[in-house]
Amino acid sequence: MLAYRHAFHAGNHADVLKHVVLLAVLEYLDTKPAGWRCIDTHAGAGGYSLEGTYAQKKAEYADGIGRLVGRDDLPGPVAALVRQVQAFNDGKGLRQYPGSPALAHACQREQDQLRLYEMHPTEHKILHSYLGDEPGVQVHLGDGFGAIKAQLPHATRRAVLLIDPPYELKTDYARTLAAVREALERMPETIVIVWLPQLQLLEAAQLPQRLKAAAEAGARKGWLHARLTVAPPLERGFGLLGSSVFVANPPHTLFATLQPVLPWLAQALAQFDGARSALEKSGKA
């Protein structure tokens, strides 16, 4: 949706969860020499000013990454994200937050590839100026949902597909499910990472179960689902209560990596006494 700007939400609790998982996956892939391809369907601008008008409107980062920087008791995967954030700021406070493209680029080796898609012309322009000339990176102005046929299968059979739409249109739920099915049909070993909003909305409640069914049918290594609930239900039913990340074909280490991290994050990012986490996986994962 061309009205959506991620800068309003940069660095919030949802970004923290999504990026902890993304870094854990890419760092696992980096343990083996074969190259990987990371396809980001909704790449955004690549990085965001936390001092700008958008980020300051609700200052969501203050209850997200802002609660983590400066702590000395961070679990390993959270510490890895904080290190990347600090590097993105050149070690000078918390002025900017790296988006998924910046974090993936930080993990990228000479043999790896980034394929970044963004529909918003302004976001694309910023992203292209930042990463468009980097080796192994392609930045596309277009609909990332339509990129799967062009990008999969990948020659090394090692690929990560990150799907993170704004979900401001209800059609995003159906298109996300269709994209997961298409990716697994084209390359069943694709690691598919899907960010999901936790909302008081039927489509949001149904999508995790539908993704599990799609992964059971098409993924070679099952699925994993990590959830954080940080805010209480609202009387009128609007607002982000938390979020989750669904992973098809998760690395075999990912469940054990996240198991101690999610309860810690639930407490660190809690906005009410009922904050909680959940982590589940299929028998194959």
Write the CATH number for 213. Answer: 3.40.50.150
Burial class of residue 201 in the structure, from the number of CB atoms within 10 Å of its CB (0-12 exposed, 13-18 middle, 19+ buried): middle
Question: What pLDDT is attached to residue 201?
Answer: 86
Question: What pLDDT is attached to residue 1?
Answer: 44
Question: What pLDDT is attached to residue 4?
Answer: 58
Query: Is position 226 within any domain?
Result: yes
Q: Taking the CA atoms of 254, 259, 265 and 266 in sequence, report the sign of the dihedral they define.
A: positive
Q: Which of 63, 112, 164, 172 is catalytic?
A: 164
Question: What pLDDT is attached to residue 48?
Answer: 95
Question: What pLDDT is attached to residue 284?
Answer: 83
Question: What pLDDT is attached to residue 154?
Answer: 94
Report residues of the chain scoring pLDDT below 50: 1-3
**Interatomic CA distance for residues 108 and 158, integer angstroms:** 13
Question: What pLDDT is attached to residue 241?
Answer: 93
Question: What pLDDT is attached to residue 235?
Answer: 63
Q: Are 43 and 101 in contact (CB under 8 A)?
A: yes
Helices (H), the chain: 13-29, 53-58, 76-88, 100-107, 121-131, 148-151, 171-186, 202-218, 254-258, 261-268
Q: What residues pair up with 38 in beta bridges, in sequence order?
A: 114, 160
Query: Which stretch of DSSP H or E encloses residue 239?
Result: none
Q: How many domains does the chain have?
A: 1
Task: Please count the other Cβ atoms lying within 10 Å of the Cβ belonging to residue 91.
Answer: 7
Question: What pLDDT is attached to residue 54?
Answer: 86
Query: Is position 1 within any domain?
Result: no
Give the residue numbers spanning the domain of 167.
6-281
Per the annotation, the verdict on 172 as an active-site residue is no
Question: What pLDDT is attached to residue 8?
Answer: 85
Query: Is position 265 within any domain?
Result: yes
Question: What pLDDT is attached to residue 7?
Answer: 80
Q: What is the pLDDT of residues 54-93, one digit of tens each?
A: 889 889 999 999 999 999 999 999 999 999 999 999 989 9
Question: What pLDDT is attached to residue 239?
Answer: 78
Residue 269, helix vs strand vs coil: coil
